[in-house]
Chain A
């Protein structure tokens, strides 16, 4: 007998770097493309992906990333010390955005709009919202609601929960 199909996923985005945000967005969008229900839950620095004022400036972390190579994925390892140079993160982000655009992976804001239009739901974590002193006005319009952990688990009933 074939394994049962996944019908519903809850994806938690907990990091605010470009490489922290994209996997969750790609997985949520991919779930909708497969006809699954998709809920995205943004917590801690992952919230920056849906903060209206900051979501267009999500950057790659070039420090503390030992897999980082320059000028491309098969180039030389980037020493952490050089990764800290001013502009390094912006440069790496610019390079990657260019490549992603070619592959039709949209910028963060467009991606969020696309997932929402595709029927994916987006939620912000209440604990972080309180901690960062945020209100609904700080979020992009696609964010449906601020949720407590309990509410998140409730709406995730029957879901696969994926933490990124």
Chain B
């Protein structure tokens, strides 16, 4: 397993840069990963990220896009604007979660 220094902290990451231990995550790390992905995080981004983290905490799995958009946190169009070029992949990476494994 590789380690990477993000925002001054050594964290464990997989070959695609996803954190492998969520307990190492903090908001500064989230900000830094977002910057690497070319995203400046706003309050709206954080709402999505926090929803994903809560879902993983309570259900043990990332939600689908449909579940996320039905929650009222964000609509599909806005989600794609907030996280261009692969919203769930980028959002879960920034949130320090695993890579999404759902087809929908």
- Contact: B65 with A33, CB < 8 Å? yes
Closest CB-CB distance, B56 to chain A, in whole Å? Answer: 16
Q: Which residues of A contact B86 (CB under 8 A)?
A: 33-35
Q: Which of B4-12, B13-21, B24-32, B74-82 contacts A (4 or more CB under 8 A)?
A: B74-82
Among A30, A105, A118, contact of B80 (Cβ-Cβ < 8 Å): A118
Indicate if the CB atoms of B104 and A104 lie closer than 8 Å.
Answer: yes
Per-residue CB contact flags for chain B residues 18-61 toward chain A (1 = under 8 Å, else 0) read 00000000000000000000000000000000000000000000
Which of A34, A35, A103 is close to B104, meaning CB atoms less than 8 Å apart?
A103
* CB-contact partner of B67 in A34, A104, A113, A119, under 8 A: A104
A15 within 8 A of B: no
Given A29-B104, A117-B75, A117-B76, answer yes or no on A106-B66 (Cβ-Cβ < 8 Å).
yes
- Count residues on chain A whose CB falls below 8 Å from chain B CBs: 16
Number of interface residues, chain B, beta carbon within 8 A: 19
Contact A33 B77 (CB under 8 A): no
Neighbouring B residues of A106 by C-beta, 8 Å:
66, 104
A114 interface contact, C-beta 8 A: yes
| Residue pair A32, B80 in contact (C-beta under 8 Å) | yes
B66:A114 contact, CB within 8 angstroms: yes
Chain A positions within 8 Å of B67 at CB level: 104
Known contacts A34-B86, A35-B84; is A105 also within 8 Å of B77 by CB? no
> CB-defined interface of A99-113 with B at 8 Å, one 1/0 digit per residue?
000011110000001
A134 at the interface (CB under 8 A from B): no
Chain A residue at minimum C-beta to C-beta distance from B102:
A104
How far is it, in angstroms, between the C-alpha of A103 and the C-alpha of B102 when the chains are bound?
Answer: 9
The answer for the CA separation of A30 and B87 in the assembled complex, in Å, is 11
Supposing A33-B87, A33-B88, A106-B66 touch, asked if A26 and B80 sit within 8 A by C-beta, the answer is no
A34 to B90, CA, bound (A): 10
Query: Which partner residue on chain A sits nearest B69 by CB separation?
Result: A114
User: Restricting to A113-162, which residues have a CB under 8 Å from any CB of B?
Assistant: 113-114, 117-119
Q: Are B85 and A114 in touch, CB under 8 angstroms?
A: no
Contact, CB under 8 Å: A26 / B89:
no
- Complex alpha-carbon distance, A104 and B87, angstroms: 17
Please tell me if the beta carbons of A104 and B80 are within 8 angstroms of each other in the complex.
no
Q: Indicate whether B103 reaches chain A with its CB closer than 8 angstroms.
A: yes
Task: Give chain A's interface residues, CB within 8 Å of chain B.
Answer: 26, 29-30, 32-35, 103-106, 113-114, 117-119
- Contacts A33-B65, A33-B88, A104-B102 aside, 8 further interface pairs with beta carbons under 8 A come to A33-B86, A34-B86, A104-B66, A104-B67, A113-B76, A114-B65, A114-B76, A117-B76
